[in-house]
Amino acid sequence: MVAAPLVDSVLDYWTSQKRQKCSESPKSFYNSGFRSLIFIPVFTLFFIFLVALQMSYTSTSPEHLPNTRRPISALLNLPEVKEYQKCVLKHNKFLHQKEYMLSTMINGCIPKGIHDQSKFILSYTDVDLQSICQQLFYFAASRVSDVIRNNLSYKITTLRQSVFKSDERLKGMLSYAEYYDILSETTKRVGKNNAEDEKKHTRKLERDRTNCRHYIPRQSYADIKVRKKRNRKAKKKSPRVSSRRLKRRNIKAPNKNSVAVGSQDHESTSPPPVINLSNTITLTEGHFGIFKRGPKFIPTPRKADFAEFQEDIRIWKNRLRWAVYHDLKKSDTDNINVEVPAPIEVALIKSNKSKFDAPFSKNLALELFLQNIDMEIKNHNEKKNLGDNLNVEERKALQDIRSWSDTIVRPYDKGVGFVVDDVENYKARINKELSNPTIYSLVTDIDNAIPSINNRIRDWMDRYSDEISFRLQNWMIDENADFGYFYLNYKAHKPEKGYPGRMITSGCGSPTERISSWCEYHLKPLMELLPYRLEDTSHFIRKVLLYNEKASTENTSRNIILCSWDIEAMYPNITNDLGLTACKELLNKRDNLVPSTDCIIDAIQITLEENIAKFGNTVVKQCDGTAMGPHHACSYADAAADYAVDQKVMNHSINPLYDKILNWSRFRDDIFCIWTGTEEELLDFNLWINNLHPRLKFTMEYSTTSIVFLDLKISTSGTSLLTEMYSKSSDTHAYLMPTSCHPTHVCRNIPKGVMKRVKRNCSTENKCEKGYVEYKQYLVNRGYNDQLINEAIADARATPRDQLLGITQKNLNSPSPRQYPLVMKFNPKLPPMSKFIHKHHHILELTNQTKNLFTKSSLFVSYKMEKNILGIITRNKFKENQLPAAAPHHPHVSIPPTPTDNPSWGCHPCPKTCTLCKNFLRTSSTFTSPKTTQIFRIKSHIDCSTKNVIYLVLDLKCTDIFYIGYTTDCMAVRWRNHKSHIKNSIKSCELASHFISLSQTTHKLDKSSLATFTSELSKHIAIVLIESVKPSTGLDVESFLKEREDFWQGA
């Protein structure tokens, strides 16, 4: 649906406006809130009218519709029109009811009907007991109110989908004039009902605020019980310094108040923490517990590596002693010319760690300090029983996941979560990408591939030996280099497409990795010369503030359209000629042309033409475009996009509609624009920009009210723009859990970072407060303490927004002292080195030398992390013994011919008897249409591995319900998606929505385990594969499948 995001944005805008009013003081809300809300429905209807206009222009052609115009009275009697108006009015009614329920909660009220039923009267006189019991009943009534409010949200979502479907049916059967007559009549009815609902709900809210202000928040009563329990157990103890374990308790939420891992109390359409696409693995509760904890979660290590710890201490003590030694020799070397490495050498070449121990220092203060540190380490008693942040089942599940040999675990491409898939399926996806001959070519001489690349780099250095230092020349060639490697991350936010993958090429350890770093060193500073490039979200918000400031000084008012474009597959579609030309033009703008432009361009050309990577036993070379793995890929792509797009768009002699663009900003492949022309001119401009380059294609979205860009939702308010928080549907908000084996300060700072991001992104106080509430719930769901989150909110409120946006810079004039961190792994069983350093730091102040060298801010502990769950259960690079022989390289993929053996025609199970074929698939050579009861013959041999099929899903409980769909993938993959969405309550299609809506009645399924769920679901569903599609030459496969799906739906 083209207009669905716009309708969603309008409804979100309506809801946000109402919540802003509700968050004001009760008096101001009552006096001004509902008076302003009276205009919001009319405002919303106007935008729904515009959305419908857009939908008609984008989805319907004039030739398709008749030119007749029937009277409105005749149109209103049509069943489709009645159904449409019924859905719209019901949706509007539920939306008002939800807003009323939300208003009562914000004002601390319980709706009167629920409130009256919660009154409790004790049979005998006891004031204290009466008060306690009444509070319990009010707490239960508050939860009932919450349940009703959440149910209304679900009803609204379901009705919104019905409105979309009814609208599509009307546009298919009515002419333009008739469609707008119906739309106008519906608008009048909705406006009339809105006025009535507003008056009724205003009156009801006034009544509730007077008599029913007994709403109890979700966790307050539990907090009272926990505090009382703690007070009973409290004993007088001598004061002591807070330990790391006590600090950890202050971060975690109390057990009785903490929310289950991965739970989501509020409305969410986020994907599940794990998607199982494997045919061989059945996930247990222990597996789900591991995946729900998130990729950054670190399990408690079984033991500490004291040998590695002692080596880290030795290296740190060497640094301190060498610092004092060189400081003593400083006066002797002031008059000697010492060769200082160039900045580029310091930035790129990492010095090897010396194993030579420094001599004992003549500074007795330093030696006394180190001696006391050694004594503290010696006297430290290792803590034996620190507990485990994984339970027994999760520990076994973690070991089980690591032992999988035929199954692979990959992270989401966007968002936080995992995908479990068979290795063979994973290989097939990557080999399909590598079989594209326009992008990749097969490398036949594998043994000489890396030496030939090194020889080419040597020839390049010989040509420009005067411009590259001798030390850099020795560093540039890596004699131990190996091929890069391919890996693929699944796009969990696109389940309707079968979770496609994003191919990534890793250049780590490849022969071109170092020359790529050298190119990035010279390209990155030039990015500041690109006027339309965005650095990050803060940079974009600063540009929005400048636009608002300029708009406020102008007296003229203009109608603007907010637009955004996405460059489809930008990296592989940037041709080498385009990228090199763009980089050459940018490099020529340098003040210092050393090294020369030709030297850098030749180096970039080597990285493009010698980009060789391996998957299994197949080695391929990228023929055109750039991969996403090299160090300079982002700067290279930015330069190309600026040259091919930005410069031409913002050039009045090239762009015929240049004067219609008020603002143009680009972050990588995402573009934001403020358009001052008409909608027709914008559509013309979209056609023009798609013809700028034959390989670069743009996808546009636009709106006059609000639009999404980066992690922001930008909306119009008069002549200004407002920003607020936005998160994609794939964002699970799975922040690091406080039980993870991280240093305490890391977990304590996560709520601060989250709330400061809310303050930075929200342009008004009301939007900030709304964001604080929303993201507080996300943090509570991950186990964070309410008090810690409230402190983070208070800190964010006290921080000026200009500071968060980088408008007010910190004072960087004073040089920072040299730092001497102790770099060690974090493990609770190791000695608390930070405590020891601070305890004995006063010794270093005994001499002026150590006092000046080692300040309190220069000595600290910097932790390396143990392996997290992502590093434990996923692997980007396969080992050879884990991969079967690679499939042969096929430059072209052909569709298998349809069998002509009539006896084999029909729907058959696969030889493996997979879960689909064993439990759900019906073996048959014919099928009966559920709509017309006509019998059809299946005219090909189809099983669960056949691609491009039309399938029929029969509801065995609701016999009048059936579902017909199509898939370009095999049915086994498609059914796994359907089953996963039904199990995890993801409304991705009508089939899943039907089962979710009846999950408590007709389709009540046991979801305690995958095996039980599959067994019960097989009693509700039967599947028949009815047609295998082979489109004609030159015809799009998916378009042809859609045509056949429409045919079978009406057959």
What's the confidence (pLDDT) of residue 1035?
Answer: 57
Q: What is the pLDDT of residue 23?
A: 43
How many helices and strands (H and E) does the chain possess?
Answer: 39, 24
963 pLDDT exceeds 80?
yes
For residues 193 and 186, the answer to whether their CB atoms sit within 8 Å is no
Indicate if the pLDDT at residue 179 is higher than 60.
Answer: yes
Instruction: Give the closest residue to 613 by CA, choosing from 428, 423, 450.
Output: 450
Query: Which has the minimum average pLDDT: 4-8, 98-102, 277-281, 480-484?
Result: 4-8
**Residue-wise pLDDT tens digits, 131-173:** 888 888 888 888 888 888 888 888 887 787 788 778 778 877 8
- Give the other-Cβ count within 10 Å of 212's Cβ: 24
| Alpha carbon distances (Å) from 493 to 6, 734, 766, 1019, 1038 | 19, 15, 30, 30, 20
What pLDDT is attached to residue 396? 92
Q: What's the average model confidence in pLDDT over 1034-1039?
A: 68
Q: Give the Cα separation of 361 and 324 in Å (integer).
A: 7
Across residues 418-430, what is the average pLDDT? 90
**Residue 84 confidence (pLDDT):** 86
Region 15-44 average pLDDT:
42
Query: Above 60 in pLDDT, residue 883?
Result: no
pLDDT number for residue 738: 93
pLDDT level of residue 29 (50, 70, 90 thresholds): very low
CB half-sphere exposure, 194, CA atoms < 13 A: 22
Q: What is the pLDDT of residue 20?
A: 47
Look at residue 38 in the predicted model and tell me its pLDDT: 39
Q: How does DSSP assign 549-614, residue by residue? A: HHHHH-------EEEEEEETTHHHHS-HHHHHHHHHHHHTT-SS--S-HHHHHHHHHHHHHT-EEE
Residue 80 pLDDT level (bands cut at 50, 70, 90): confident
Q: Averaged over 761-784, what is the pLDDT?
A: 93
* pLDDT above 50 for 32: no
The tokens describing 191, both together, are 């406006």
Q: Is 294 left (phi over 0), alpha (psi -120 to 50) or beta?
A: left
pLDDT bucket at 47, cuts 50 / 70 / 90: very low
pLDDT at 13 over 50: no
DSSP 643: I
What is the predicted pLDDT for the residue at 64?
43
Sign of CA dihedral 868, 874, 877, 878: positive
Question: Would you say residue 19 has pLDDT above 70?
Answer: no
The identity of residue 251, as a single letter, is I
Task: Note whether 1029 and 1039 are within 8 A (CB).
Answer: no
224, pLDDT greater than 50: no
Distance CA 675, CA 228 (A): 60
Determine the pLDDT at residue 931: 73
Tokens 């103890």 sit on residue? 237
How do strand 274-276 and strand 418-422 relate by DSSP bridges? Answer: parallel
Q: What residue spans of 610-694 are helical by DSSP H?
A: 633-641, 647-649, 679-689
Q: Whole-angstrom distance between the N-terminal and C-terminal Cα of the chain?
A: 24
Amino acid type, 156: I
Determine the pLDDT at residue 248: 58
Name the token pair of 571. 């990296």
H or E stretch covering 703 = strand 698-703
The answer to whether the beta carbons of residues 205 and 197 sit under 8 Å apart is no
Q: How many C-beta neighbours within 10 Å does residue 360 have?
A: 11
Question: Does pLDDT of 888 surpass 70?
Answer: no
584-603, pLDDT tens digit by residue? 999 999 999 999 999 999 99
Higher pLDDT, 721 or 327: 721
Most confidently modeled range among 338-352, 764-778, 869-883:
764-778
Q: Is the CB of residue 777 less than 8 Å from the CB of residue 263?
A: no
**Cα dihedral sign for 200, 201, 207, 210?**
negative
pLDDT at 679: 92
Instruction: With cut-offs at 50, 70 and 90, classify the pLDDT of residue 569.
Output: confident
Cα separation, 541 vs 723, whole angstroms: 8
Tokens of 325: 């030694």
State the CB neighbour count (10 A cutoff) for residue 997: 15
Residue 225 pLDDT grade (very low, low, confident, very high; cuts 50, 70, 90): very low
Given this model, what pLDDT does residue 236 score? 47
Q: Are 449 and 619 in contact (CB under 8 A)?
A: yes
Place of tokens 């669905």: 4
Q: How far apart are CA 122 and CA 131, in angstroms?
A: 10
Highest mean pLDDT, choosing among 77-81, 272-276, 780-784, 969-973:
780-784
Which pair of tokens denotes residue 560? 């603007």
Q: Taking the mean position of all CA atoms in its chain, how far away is CA 55?
A: 28
Residue 1044: pLDDT band (50, 70, 90) is confident
Please tell me the distance from the alpha carbon of residue 818 to that of residue 324, in angstroms, as a whole number.
13
| 673 pLDDT above the threshold of 90 | yes
pLDDT, residue 354, reads 60
pLDDT band for position 335 (50/70/90)? very low
Q: Is the Cα torsion angle 371, 377, 381, 386 positive or negative in sign?
A: positive
- How high is the pLDDT of residue 329? 65
Q: What is the total residue count of the chain?
A: 1051
Entry pTM: 0.61
Percent of the chain with pLDDT over 70: 82
Mean pLDDT comparison of 113-127, 233-247, 800-814, highest-scoring range: 113-127
pLDDT at 352: 64
pLDDT, average across residues 211-230: 61
Q: According to the model, what pLDDT value does residue 107 have? A: 83
Q: Give the model confidence (pLDDT) of 262-321 as tens digits.
A: 443 444 445 578 888 988 888 999 999 999 999 999 999 888 888 889 999 999 999 999
Mean pLDDT of the 437-441 span: 85
pLDDT of residue 689: 95
pLDDT at 54: 46
pLDDT at 28 over 50: no
pLDDT > 90? residue 901: no
DSSP 252: B
Mean pLDDT check: name the lowest of 256-265, 386-395, 662-671, 960-969. 256-265
Q: What is the pLDDT of residue 543?
A: 93
DSSP letter, residue 660: G
Question: For residues 824 and 830, what is the distance between their CA atoms, to the nearest angstrom?
Answer: 10
Mean pLDDT computed over 691-701 = 93
